Amino acid sequence: MKRVLIANRGEIALRIIRACHEEGLEAVAVYSAADRRSPHVRAADHAIAIGPAPPAESYLSIERLIAAAHESGADAVHPGYGFLAERAAFAEAVEQAELIFVGPPSAAIRAMGDKTEARRRMQEAGVPIVPGGSAPVDDPAAAVAAAEEIGYPVMVKAAAGGGGKGMRVVRDPGALSAALETAASESLKAFGDSSVYLEKFIEHPRHIEIQVLADGERTVHLGERECSIQRRHQKLVEEAPSVALSVDLREWMGAAAVSAAQAVGYRGAGTCEFLLTEDGSFYFLEMNTRIQVEHPVTELVYGVDLVREQLRIAGGLPMRVHPGWLNPRGWALECRITSEDPANGFLPSTGRIEYLRVPAGPGVRWDSGVEIGDEVTLYYDSLLAKLIVWAPDRAQAITRMTQALDELVVVGVATNQAFHRRLMADPDFRKGEIDIQFLERRADLLAQNVSPGRILDLAVAAALAEDHARHARRPVATAETATPSEWARQARSEGLR
């Protein structure tokens, strides 16, 4: 493996390019017409135009990506996340073109993509799954009987689903047939498949996911990520480790994730999603057969570069992690900075990034795909950057994140920065008292409850306070201070510059 084509854009494309270079590999960027001048294009060693801005004609076109790989002389393809990352047909097309797919075998993607098949495989492997059916239900009468057996509330889920589409909660038999119908039609529209199945609905769980790595020889886990802070299936904040896991529970869930990966012949980096209840029971939900957005929090607490390990494994090298070393150290938090306007129902906001001040300092990581001058459009995901911090413990990580959020300035597009600041200050969040419904209960954190007029007053007050603080910080010469000249000494003592 010498040259890797990155079938993606934005922050993850840059992240992969950096890993390629550290591994001594060349990186090939692909770009749509909207991304001609994007940072990932400049960072790569080669760049190939693959089509117009709409994803269907560029980043989602298997044909154009394979053609770009051949044209550039690439011998491997990294899909990143989103776009084609979990399409078994893409992995297959890459394999058939005699290129290396930097990801799991297409068969593992396919097995985990069908949720009822995944449940059957997990059951055989002894991985705990949510009580419910492991085959699609085809008629309402059978569904009523199955729901009775499972016990209400139940959840209707799309067999082809994932990520929350085609799901319905049903609290009594009277509501079941309508839910079956809407879930089936939603699933048909989203995935081209109308099969649905039933599960027990788990109330107020945490969303915990376990990172795994497999190199064909060994399969290991790298602990958990706590991903409960989400809104409408979009994660906003992730952390590692989770306050809810003891050392023992981490090993139990880790062992379950390793069994899940082994059951489908997994290779590379992958993530098993679990629901964790208050009493410490956990249930496998699904496996994400890709590198995930939130992978950096695991990297920081485990000291492992997951993307470099993906590249090594794809190239046939053993992974450089040894189970004996794998212990989490300290605490990491990630805030997803999106171009979404909290004052406008979190709708995507567009515009030119007119100014950007990036946070820095010890334990601060900024994974971003945008720079000053870049245009934020509606063609792609609204993720602008991931702000990630590491500190020795959770309280210090929150303090560090608060400071980093204070340093961050984005001018030109609305962002969710203020939401993150409110969350970091929230007493319940600081106590770690969170579950997947946290933000539904806490609409106050999502809302911008400051009027525009009040913001102007606050801006003036902030400017005055900053000016005052600068005066207070101005160095004053003392008797011991070596003075380069009488002019400078006088100027300093008078507070002049």
Instruction: Give contact residues for ligand MV4 (rule: CB under 6 A).
Output: 130, 155, 162-164, 199-202, 207, 230, 233, 273, 275, 285-286, 436
The counts of H helices and E strands in the chain are 18, 22
8 A C-beta contact, residue 194 and residue 156: no
Instruction: Tally the residues of the chain.
Output: 497
Which of 207/394 has CB closer to ligand MV4? 207
In the complex, minimum distance from the CB of residue 281 to ligand MV4, in angstroms, rounded to a whole number: 12
In the complex, minimum distance from the CB of residue 312 to ligand MV4, in angstroms, rounded to a whole number: 29
Q: At what angle do helices 306-314 and 10-22 cross, to 10 degrees?
A: 60
In the complex, minimum distance from the CB of residue 200 to ligand MV4, in angstroms, rounded to a whole number: 6
In the complex, minimum distance from the CB of residue 132 to ligand MV4, in angstroms, rounded to a whole number: 7
In the complex, minimum distance from the CB of residue 35 to ligand MV4, in angstroms, rounded to a whole number: 30
Question: Would residue 218 show up in a list of annotated catalytic residues for this protein?
Answer: no
Q: Which residues, at least 6 apart from 413, have a Cβ–Cβ distance to it below 8 Å?
A: 339, 349, 350, 351, 352, 353, 376, 384
Spatial separation of the C-alpha atoms in residues 377 and 372, rounded to whole Å = 14
In the complex, minimum distance from the CB of residue 113 to ligand MV4, in angstroms, rounded to a whole number: 13
DSSP one-letter string for 79-132: --SSTTTT-HHHHHHHHHTT-EESSS-HHHHHHHHSHHHHHHHHHHHT--B-SB
8 A C-beta contact, residue 370 and residue 39: yes
* The 196-200 sheet, strands edge to edge: 168-170, 154-158, 196-200
Q: Which of 290, 308, 312, 394 is catalytic?
A: 290
Omega before 205 cis (within 30°)? no
In the complex, minimum distance from the CB of residue 295 to ligand MV4, in angstroms, rounded to a whole number: 17
Which of 102/253 has CB closer to ligand MV4? 253
Which of 162/241 has CB closer to ligand MV4? 162
Which of 284/331 has CB closer to ligand MV4? 284
Q: Which residues, at least 6 apart from 245, have a Cβ–Cβ distance to it below 8 Å?
A: 208, 223, 224, 253, 276
Query: Would you state the torsion angle of the CA atoms of residues 69, 71, 73, 79, taken in this order, to the nearest 10 degrees?
Result: -10
Spatial separation of the C-alpha atoms in residues 386 and 38, rounded to whole Å = 17
Which of 19/436 has CB closer to ligand MV4? 436
> What is the largest distance, in Å, between two alpha-carbon atoms of the chain?
95
Which of 356/436 has CB closer to ligand MV4? 436
Which of 23/435 has CB closer to ligand MV4? 435
Quick one: DSSP state of residue 174? G
Spatial separation of the C-alpha atoms in residues 103 and 333, rounded to whole Å = 26
Which residues are known catalytic residues? 290
